[in-house]
Amino acid sequence: MVLVEDGVRVDVRRGRHDRGGRPAEDDARPDARVGRDGPLERVASTVGHVRGRRTPRAKSCVLVSPHESACRRGRTPGATTGRPLLAGARRGAVTDADHCNAGFERLFAGDGLTVGTGFPLTDNRQSRPPVGREVALAAHAEAVGFDGLWARDVPFRWPRFRDTGQTYDTFPWLSHVAAHTEDVALGTASVVLPLRHPAHVAKAAATVDRLSGGRLVLGVATGDRDPEYDAFGADADERGARFRESVAAMRALWRGEFPAVDFGGDRGGLEGDLDLVPKPASGTLPLLPTGHSRQTVEWLGANGDGWLFYHLPEDTLESYLADWRAAAGEKPFAMALRLELADDPTADPEHVHQGYRAGNEWVVDFLRRLETAGVDHVLVGVDEAREESDPERALTRFGETVLDRL
């Protein structure tokens, strides 16, 4: 694992483990429609892609705002790259690969579709998942080719909500996973900002980012579990405003020294006499709003570093991608869905909750259609189409029959 400390990269080698989701919800989602073929290629003409195949996009991990590190692998912002800079990127900043967020780069800097998966990997969603087993599966998922591991933010068990994610608090959990993996991106899907003080989120996230060698990508949301707002004494009607204030406050805490910050509402603020430490390894962290987060697409495009959305039927996804490209240019689009591999590799798809059960032939074709349309990352819940799930076997099968072919 490579750690980044004050601009110095330290390669820490250790023994590997034996190699052998979904985001917090923010919006009602359309029911998925199933078909062997889909219309996703039609979005190409609306977002600058060539119909039927994806035109290579010079993606980078340039992050929003005036003060971040640029991270464009060997180029300075403003150098010729074949496309304009992402909105808000500071022209003239010095590029230094050591100061790029490694997780964001792993997920989005290349041209092809990347694939991640989410906790819990043991499919234990009602009680405490076995820590050792989860960590071993995380290392196995990295070994078979997954690019990201995503954790949820679910403070309470609410039977109506059906599950509690990985149960353990998001940031300590990802710190533990970081110690047992090497290069895979670590993501939150997603931290419910209005339920947490922005200074707590900023410090916890920066800490995990430092301990993981700059691998943290922060999905953020407004949440949809109303009883939690009552439990925390938060006003659910103000969640959209609290979300915007938290995004601005966290970026100010990461990027500035002794900043003046208004945390919003009755959450206090700073007047330049206190400084949050540590800062993230790259000087800031990528923020991916999840769902609409009670904001307009224009706000999300201007203030987010990407957009994390839920499983959408293909016709609906087409329009969402067109709106996103119009608002955000080439900033990445990620989507969460569930995929179950049938025993028959040629099996036609059938709808399951938030995704599909199908043979790997259809799954590969479906993911290629997503890539052609302009989806940059998919967060898949992987399961077997059988009564008794074997998570290690499911990850291995998905790696060998799907990821290796992408």
Whole-angstrom distance, CA of residue 186 vs CA of residue 55? 28
Enter the tokens of residue 390. 């074997």
CA-angle at 48, arms to 46 and 49, nearest 5°: 100
Strand partners, 2: 11
Q: Secondary structure of 222-262 in the HEC alphabet?
A: CCCCHHHHHHCCCCHHHHHHHHHHHHHHHHHHHHCCCCEEE
What whole-number distance in Å separates Cα of residue 55 and Cα of residue 297?
24
How many other CB atoms are there within 10 angstroms of residue 130's CB atom? 12
16 Cβ partners below 8 Å, 6+ apart? 139, 143, 182
pTM value is 0.79
Annotate 75-97 with three-state secondary structure.
CCECECCCCCCCCCCCCCCCCCH
| DSSP characters over 6-74 | TTEEEE---PPPP----PPP-S--PPP---SS-SGGGGHHHHTPPTTSPPP-------SSSSS----SS
CATH topology for the 23-59+96-405 domain: TIM Barrel (3.20.20)
pLDDT of residue 126: 56
Q: Select from 103, 115, 110 the least CA-distant residue to 73.
A: 110
- Strands 269-271, 287-289: parallel, antiparallel or unpaired by DSSP? unpaired
Note whether 404 and 115 are within 8 A (CB).
no
Domain ranges of the chain: 23-59+96-405
In this prediction, residue 59 carries a pLDDT of 52
Quick count: other Cβ atoms within 10 Å of Cβ 183? 14
> In the numeric block, which tokens belong to residue 320?
């969402």
**Listed residue (243, 245, 139, 133) closest to 190, CA to CA:** 243
379: phi then psi, degrees, rounded to nearest 5: -100, 105
What per-residue confidence (pLDDT) applies to 196?
96
Cα(64)–Cα(86) distance, integer angstroms: 8
CA atoms within 13 A on the CB side of 113: 25
Q: Are 305 and 321 in contact (CB under 8 A)?
A: no
pLDDT of residue 384: 63
One digit per residue, the tens of pLDDT, for the chain of length 406 reads 444 444 433 333 333 333 334 454 454 333 333 443 443 433 333 333 332 333 444 454 556 543 343 343 332 232 222 222 232 232 222 233 344 899 999 999 988 999 999 999 986 665 678 899 999 999 999 999 999 999 999 888 888 877 777 889 999 999 999 999 999 999 999 999 999 999 999 999 999 999 999 999 999 999 988 899 999 999 999 999 999 999 999 999 999 999 999 999 889 999 999 999 999 999 999 999 999 999 999 999 999 999 999 999 888 999 999 999 999 999 999 999 999 999 999 999 999 988 999 999 999 999 999 999 999 999 999 876 444 578 999 999 999 999 999 9
pLDDT reported for residue 44: 36
C-alpha 205/C-alpha 216 separation (Å) is 7
